[in-house]
Amino acid sequence: MKDMLAVAGAVLLAIAPGHARAADTDAAAGAVAIEAATLSPNRYVWADSASNEPLRVVVSIPDQKAYVYRGKTLVAASTVSTGKDGKETPVGAFTILQKSETHKSNLYDAAPMPFMQRLTWDGVAIHAGNNPGFPASHGCIRVPMAFAKRLFAATSVGTPVVVTDESLGDGTTMPSIEDVPTYDTPQASPETIAETAAANAGQLEQIAGR
């Protein structure tokens, strides 16, 4: 009997850490959701445990917020500013094509675009910028500087990003993104592709060396 109790206790001890981690993850996601629901402009919340689950970013235009998920768990949220009237941010499924910490716009007078993460070849990216709480950009997704830096460090070239015209509420439930149409971005020139490949390689080396 004592042996059976000892074995049962060992099993419980072996299982308990997993349950504790799951409970901690759920609690963190709940805390992020609570903060996400009331974020004011230029604010964000981040509770990413840096697990091995794949990272995805979902941007809701009506919410003017970005939600970051590990697997299906909400780990971060931020206010954003998407494209203003006439310069609307396109909706659809994207992947990060290029990353640059100190990028400058080649369309708008070399305007700084810190921690730029390119989504299209025709001028749409996630980057740090003015975040007034309403759509005000030329099509990019502006985020607070501190959030831009953390997101930049967490993503990779190829990380999926979805931009939706649906509200996600507090973001607790990650929307199904498998059926979201892929945005048909114009193809880059061979020169741009070569430059981007070189920039991406250098950027990845910098990140790996940190």
178-190 per-position pLDDT tens digit? 778 888 766 666 6
pLDDT tier at 104, thresholds 50, 70, 90: low
Q: In the chain, what is the straight-line distance between the N-terminal and C-terminal CA atoms, in Å?
A: 54
Length of the chain: 210
Q: Residue 174: what are its φ and ψ, rounded to 5°?
A: -70, 130
For 188-200, write each residue's pLDDT tens digit.
666 666 666 665 5
**Residue located via tokens 């004011």:** 40
Q: Residue 19: what are its φ and ψ, rounded to 5°?
A: -65, -40
* pLDDT at residue number 203: 52
Percentage above 90 pLDDT, the chain: 49
From CA 62, how far away is CA 65, in angstroms rounded?
Answer: 8
- The 3-state DSSP class for residue 47 equals coil
Q: What is the mean pLDDT of residues 57-71?
A: 96
DSSP codes joined into one string, 159-177: -EEEEESS--TTS-SPPP-
* pLDDT at residue number 46: 95
Q: What is the mean pLDDT of residues 68-76?
A: 94
**Bigger pLDDT: 198 vs 124:** 124
Token output for 192: 């741009």
Q: Residue 124: what are its φ and ψ, rounded to 5°?
A: -110, 130
Q: What is the mean pLDDT of residues 102-131?
A: 79
Percentage above 70 pLDDT, the chain: 69
* pLDDT at residue number 181: 80
Q: What is the mean pLDDT of residues 78-94?
A: 96
| Parent domain of 23 | 2-208
Q: Which H or E run contains 103?
A: strand 98-104
Contact 131, 80 (CB under 8 A): yes
Average per-residue pLDDT for the chain:
80
From CA 4, how far away is CA 2, in angstroms rounded?
Answer: 5
Q: What is the mean pLDDT of residues 135-139?
A: 93
The domain tally of the chain equals: 1
From CA 113, how far away is CA 98, in angstroms rounded?
Answer: 13
CA atoms within 13 A on the CB side of 49: 17
pLDDT tier at 146, thresholds 50, 70, 90: very high
CATH number at 119 reads 2.40.440.10
Distance of CA 45 to the CA centre of its chain: 12
**Bigger pLDDT: 5 vs 202:** 202
